Amino acid sequence: MTLPLNELQIRPAPPKPGAEAEREAQLQKVAKQFESVLVRQLVQVMWKTTPSMSSGQAGMYQEMFQGSFADHLVSGGGIGLSSMIAKGLGAQGAETAALPLHMPAPLSAVPPGRPHHLTLEGAAPSGEPAHGVLAELQRAAAQMLDGGGAARWAKDGKLDQSDLPSVLNTEAPGGVARFSVRDANGYQGYYKCNLFALELARRAGLSVPVVAREAGWGFPSSNRMTQDASDGSLDAGWAKVATGASPAAMHGALRAGEAAFLVVGSGQGERHGHMAVIERPRSIDYDAEGQVQRIVFDGWEAQPGGGRHLQERAWNRLGHGGAPGDRNGLTRIEIIQLSRPDPGERTERTLSDTANSSRLDSVSSKEHRRPTQGGKEHS
C-alpha cells in the first residue's frame, strides 16, 4: 500500500471577481470533500494494518479518530487529489500539488516502531514527457550523455570546461578562486558521481552547493552531503532533507514539475559514497527509525564506466543484502529535495566564506597533474 505524505500543499488559486470566483470556490469545495472521502478510506486501511490500535479501548474511538485524521490531512493540503479533481471539473485556478521543502522523518502518517515497505503503483513508465523541473532534468541529462559525453563521466574519463561550465569566480588571497576542472587534470582517476549529479541539477536550474577546495571551488562529496543530511547541518538555502517521504508523494511532486530529488549515500571506512538524481521513485524500505534501508528508482548517475540513465536501480544499506548489480554496502542513505534559487541569485550556493586562489592563476594549465588521492571523490 502506498501511503500519503501529510505535508503536501496546494497553492491557493488567485481571487476572481463575481460569479466566476463563486464557481471556483464551489468546485474547490466539492473537490476537497471528494478527497476527504478517499483519504478516510485510506486511513481505514492503515488502521487495519495496526492491530494494537483496532482492538480494546482504542477501538471505541476508531471511527472518530479516522474521520478527524482524514479531515486534518485534507485541511493541511491532503495528498494532492483535490487539485486534480478540481481541474478535471473545470476549475481554472487549480494547480497541481507541490511538495514543501521540509518533510518529517520518520513518516508521520505511519505508526513508528516497525519497518515499512512503500511502493509506487500504477505510475506511467520512466521517460514519459514531463514539464517543469523534471523536463529540465531530462533535457540536461540528454545534453550531458549524448554524443559520447557519457564516457567522460567515467572514473578514467577526463572532463573539460564544457562539462563543468560554471563561471563562478571570487576574489581570493593571491588571485581568483575559480570553478575549474583543469586544476585537477579534469578529475581523471576520480569517481565522478557527485560531479555528474550536481552538474545535472545545476543545468536544470536548481540550486547546488559549492565548497572550497584546496584550490578554487568545487562540488562537495557524497559522504559530506550524506553526513550533513543526517546530522541536520544541510544548508536550507539550497535543499531540504526529504528522507521519510513516500514514493507516491515524491512522484506526485516530480510529475507536477515542482520538485527534484537527489539520493546520496555514504561509504564504509575509506570506501567512497554515491549520488544520483531521481527521475521516478519505485519503492523505499524504511526501518523502524525511519531510515532508508533500500531504495529502487529510475534516474541518472555516474558509475565507474560512465554516466547513465538507469531503470530499477537499487541501493542497499549495509546489512540489507542486495543483488550483485545493486549499489550495496552504504552506511547511510538520505533523500534530498532540491530547490530553485530566488530570482536574480546564482544556481551555485557557496557553503564556504572564501576559497583559495585557483592554481591556474600561477601555474600553466598545460602542466600534467594527477590526483593526489586516486580513487577518492574530489571535494
> What pLDDT, on the 0 to 100 scale, is given for residue 114?
67
In this structure, are strands 208-212 and 292-303 parallel, antiparallel, or unpaired? unpaired
**Rounded CA separation 97/191 (Å):** 37
Q: Give me the pLDDT at residue 252, please.
A: 84
In this structure, the strands spanning 292-303 and 274-286 are antiparallel
Cα separation, 156 vs 151, in Å, equals 9
Q: 170 and 177 in contact (C-beta within 8 Å)? A: yes
Residue 223: pLDDT band (50, 70, 90) is very high
- The domain segmentation of the chain, as residue ranges, is 1-97, 132-361
Cis peptide before 106 (omega within 30 of 0): yes
Residue 44: the pLDDT is 66
Q: Which residues are 211's β-sheet partners?
A: 218
Q: How confident is the model at residue 21 (pLDDT cuts 50, 70, 90)?
A: low
Model pLDDT for residues 337-357, shown as the tens digit of each residue: 998 888 888 999 999 889 999
Task: Calculate mean pLDDT across residues 296-311.
Answer: 96
Mean pLDDT lowest for which of 38-52, 211-225, 234-248, 313-327?
Answer: 38-52
Backbone phi, psi, residue 100, to 5°:
-70, 170
Largest pairwise CA distance in the chain: 78
For residue 121, the tally of other CB atoms under 10 A from its CB is 10
**Can you tell me the mean pLDDT for 151-177?**
92
DSSP string computed for 290-310: S-EEEEEEEEEEEETTEEEEE
Kind plus residue range of the DSSP H or E element containing 195:
helix 193-203
Q: Which of 14-23, 134-143, 252-261, 311-320 has the lowest mean pLDDT?
A: 14-23
Contact 177, 277 (CB under 8 A): no
353 to each of 150, 177, 236, 239, 320, how far by Cα in Å? 33, 12, 16, 19, 39
- pLDDT higher for 240 or 105? 240
d(Cα 310, Cα 317) in Å, to the nearest integer? 19
Task: Using a pLDDT cut of 70, give the percent of the chain over it.
Answer: 64
Could you tell me which of 1, 66, 69, 81 has the C-alpha nearest to residue 33? 81
Query: Would strands 260-266 and 239-241 be described as parallel, antiparallel, or unpaired?
Result: unpaired
Q: Chain-wide mean pLDDT for the chain?
A: 77
Q: Of 7 and 57, which is predicted with more confidence?
A: 57
pLDDT over threshold 80, residue 132: yes
Q: For position 214, what pLDDT does the model report?
A: 87
CA 360 to chain centre: 34
Task: Read off the pLDDT of residues 28-61 as tens digits, 9 standing for 90 and up.
Answer: 666 767 767 776 667 666 666 555 544 444 454 4
